[in-house]
Amino acid sequence: MSDRLLIDLPTLPEEGKNFSGELPPEVFDLPEHDAKPLGPFSYDLYVQRFGSELLLSGTLSAPFEFICVRTIHPFTQTITVENANVSVEIESEGILDATEAIREEVLLAFPDYPRCDEADDPQHCEIDSRYLAVDKPADVGVETRPRAQGDDRWAALDALDNLDSER
């Protein structure tokens, strides 16, 4: 398994060429508390040169571990870009590294709000009722209201609100 997608421009046929393979998950280089790549980054691309740019067309995919925004549990989802079309500007002749360009295509396909019901193995995805109690009135009967547990961080703001209502 190569660690970069390198394209040798002088040997690239005019009609283009197919490139397929896998890159190690480390190419994603994501922050610690972000999604975690779980396996190799697979690509199957047709590469063709058009003047001063290179067009890579095909399929990209990689499995990731996300944290569900509803349940706050980890789940696995394979990000697949079926009809990827990536254009890379050719700045100099020789070997062109297209790794960063195809990496970005996969990152752009990440879900905005990852949910475990969209996982490779879908899970029941429901918000825990304890987290819905924040804005409910006290008489609703929700057992675990966060403010009822002695959270006094907002007391200063509550005092300001009471001052406004007294005027």
Segment 40-57, tens digit of pLDDT: 999 999 999 998 899 999
Tokens at residue 37, please?
A: 């790549």
114, 156: one domain: no
Q: Is position 1 within any domain?
A: no
Q: Give the domain range for residue 38.
A: 6-118
The reply to whether 74 and 133 lie within a common domain is: no
* Residue 133: pLDDT over 90: no
Residue 60 lies in a domain: yes
Residue 114 identity: P
Is residue 124 a part of any domain in this protein? Answer: no
Count of domains in the chain? 2
Residue 99 shares a structural domain with residue 137 = no
**Are 98 and 61 in a shared domain?**
yes
Return d(Cα 58, Cα 63) in angstroms, integer: 17
| Residue 161 predicted with pLDDT over 90 | no
**pLDDT band, very low/low/confident/very high, at 30 (cuts 50, 70, 90):** very high
Residues 6+ apart with CB under 8 A from 122: 116
